Amino acid sequence: MSLSEIRRILISDSLAPACASILRSQGGIEVTESPGLSPEQLLSVIKDYDGLIVRSATKVGADVLQAGSRLKVVGRAGTGVDNVDVEAATKNGVIVMNTPTGNSISAAELTCGLILSLSRQIPQAAASMKEGRWDRKKFMGSELHGKTLGVLGLGRIGKEVAVRMQAFQMKTIGYDPVIPPEVTAEFGVQQFALEEIWEQCDYITVHTPLLPSTTGLINDEAFSRCKRGVRVINCARGGIIDEEALLRALESGQCGGAGLDVFTEEPPRDKALVNHPLVISLPHLGASTNEAQNRCGEEIALQIVDLVKGKALIGAVNAPALSRAFSPKTKPWIQLGEALGVLLRALLPKLSGDIQLTTSGEALRDAGSYLCSAVTVGLLRGTEERLNLVNATFFARNLGIKVTSLHCSENGEEVLALSCGGLQLLGGLSGSSPCLLQIGSSTFHSPVSLHGTLLLWEGQAPLPKLIEVLAESGGHLRVFHVSEGHSVAGVSSPLSDLSPLGPCTQLAF
């Protein structure tokens, strides 16, 4: 993937001016700001851009990603990527990134505001006053002091909510299948199994992504286990709370109120929840603060600038393993992995099945994930037009090829070994240049550079004859080794007439 070729970016939603300014000034990128494009207009123009930045209004479906033949990155200035077809992006080799921290504070503060509003019926009382009434008895509230708040999802936003509500002397408990209990205990949240949460809570707030496992997380069964009059808040994603179950719980009194900033359908056509007197409903305002919009716009711009300059890959949704691959130290190893993949494919043209990548050396202890992608790019080079580190594994899986990694801690030398069908290639770095150290059981006398053009020759021609043919063909011999039937020559330019050498494969790196 030539990320340095990201030269034109389209911003199709309204973003803070800082976003385009940073892309232009720090990345040297041409930016077009066209908020409000229709789906047809987006399909028409996307072919001219290397990158696309959106908020939540623009829908980036498979048709957009397919039409964007130059697209290399889609940036979501916000947390969720529900409006981006991540699977289609991966297939097309497009990195999808978001700004997971940009709106955390704003979303957390809105959640706290809804908890307070539910406890004291603030919006309802304010509306009553505007209608000319003075209903002090009607709007009897309850204190938050001493109440229990259940936080489902204890990432950035969930943590911020818990910490703020502790200032009201609320007891904060929670559930998160990923974050260890000892981590959440440090910010005052005791974790419980989900089935143990319901009966303890006076208030429940959700801060999870919308996944198959979290869709309908709060449903009829969950409500039946809760305290009567429990209040629920959703500033995360519509669908985490089953809306029909919530309506039933409100009507029966099992749920005493709900604060909803998100809905399954936005805007909701069914107004039953919106108009319910115990529901405080908002039009998806979690990130709607000047600070959050500025922060998200700045963050997505800086992330793309870092990507273009090869400094870092931050916020990647569909290529998290590649985050460690964007640094000067790892790039030569990625080049080596790809070169070994090319070489293995040349030696085993009917390649299929499992391929084992073994890393050794402390610097490569955690490199297996992205090096597997690099090897796969080499194996499949030339088979797919948009092949890169993002989608290589996807295409390999469809061909029945799987590259797995293993780290060998016993060997302190930093090398890569690639094995398949009884053949093993061993490679390393000479300075910062990828090189071949071994084919099978044959070790080369000195490293063979995997840069430029490499000839693989199998035959019985004597060494002088091979040198003579190389010289007559106009190629400048760089390095030459003979190893158990495999002859390897490195030349500075392609050779046209190789017939005197016998069966020969020419590879370009």
Protein fold of 320-413? 60s Ribosomal Protein L30; Chain: A; (3.30.1330)
Rounded CA separation 434/307 (Å)? 23
Rounded CA separation 64/302 (Å)? 24
- Do the beta carbons of residue 68 and residue 6 sit within 8 Å? no
Q: How distant, in Å, are the alpha carbons of 355, 358, 364, 439, 480 from that of 420?
A: 5, 12, 21, 12, 25
Nearest to 501 by CA among 474, 462, 443: 462
Q: 22-30 long-range contacts, Cβ below 8 Å, gap at least 24? A: 22/298, 22/301, 22/302, 22/305, 23/301, 23/304, 23/305, 26/301, 26/302, 26/305, 27/301, 27/304, 27/305, 27/308, 27/309, 29/304, 29/305, 29/308
Nearest to 450 by CA among 338, 327, 359: 338
**Cβ atoms within 10 Å, residue 329:** 10
Beta-bridge mates of residue 453: 491, 508
Please tell me the total number of residues recorded for the chain in this structure: 509
- Do the beta carbons of residue 307 and residue 326 sit within 8 Å? yes
Q: Tokens representing 334?
A: 């990625």
Task: Identify the H or E element spanning 33.
Answer: strand 30-33
Nearest to 25 by CA among 255, 222, 226, 301: 301
Per 3-state DSSP, the chain is made up of helix, strand and coil in percentages (nearest 5) of 35, 25, 40
pLDDT value of residue 255: 98
Distance of CA 70 to the CA centre of its chain: 19
Q: Architecture of domain 3-102+291-318 in CATH? A: 3-Layer(aba) Sandwich (3.40)
- Do the beta carbons of residue 241 and residue 206 sit within 8 Å? yes
Rounded CA separation 463/474 (Å)? 17
Task: Identify the H or E element spanning 369.
Answer: helix 368-380
Q: How distant, in Å, are the alpha carbons of 185, 209, 221, 377 from that of 191?
A: 8, 18, 20, 43
pLDDT value of residue 3: 58
**Cβ atoms within 10 Å, residue 290:** 9
Q: Do domains 3-102+291-318 and 104-281 have the same CATH topology?
A: yes
Q: Tokens representing 413?
A: 């030398």
Rounded CA separation 345/361 (Å)? 25
> What residue spans define the domains of the chain?
3-102+291-318, 104-281, 320-413
Q: With H, G, I as helix, E, B as strand and everything else as coil, classify residue 433.
A: strand
Q: Give pTM, 2 decimals.
A: 0.74
Nearest to 375 by CA among 342, 408, 349: 342
Active site residues: 237, 266, 284
Rounded CA separation 50/10 (Å)? 8
Question: Tokens 């720090």 correspond to what residue?
Answer: 26
| Per-residue confidence in pLDDT tens, the chain, 509 aa | 455 589 999 999 999 999 999 999 999 999 999 999 999 999 999 999 999 999 988 999 999 999 999 999 999 998 878 899 999 999 999 999 999 888 899 999 999 999 999 999 999 999 999 999 999 999 999 999 999 999 999 999 999 999 999 999 999 999 999 999 999 999 999 999 999 999 999 999 999 988 899 999 999 999 999 999 999 999 999 999 999 999 999 999 999 999 999 999 999 999 999 999 999 999 999 989 999 989 999 999 999 999 998 888 889 998 876 777 777 788 899 999 999 999 898 888 777 668 999 999 988 988 888 899 999 999 998 887 788 888 888 888 888 889 999 998 877 789 999 999 888 999 999 888 999 888 887 787 778 888 777 766 655 545 455 555 555 554 444 433 434 444 454 443 444 444 444 455 667 77
Helical packing angle, 122-130 and 104-120, nearest 10°: 70
Q: In this structure, which CATH number among 3.40.50.720, 3.30.200.20, 1.20.1260.10, 1.20.1440.230 belongs to the domain 104-281?
A: 3.40.50.720
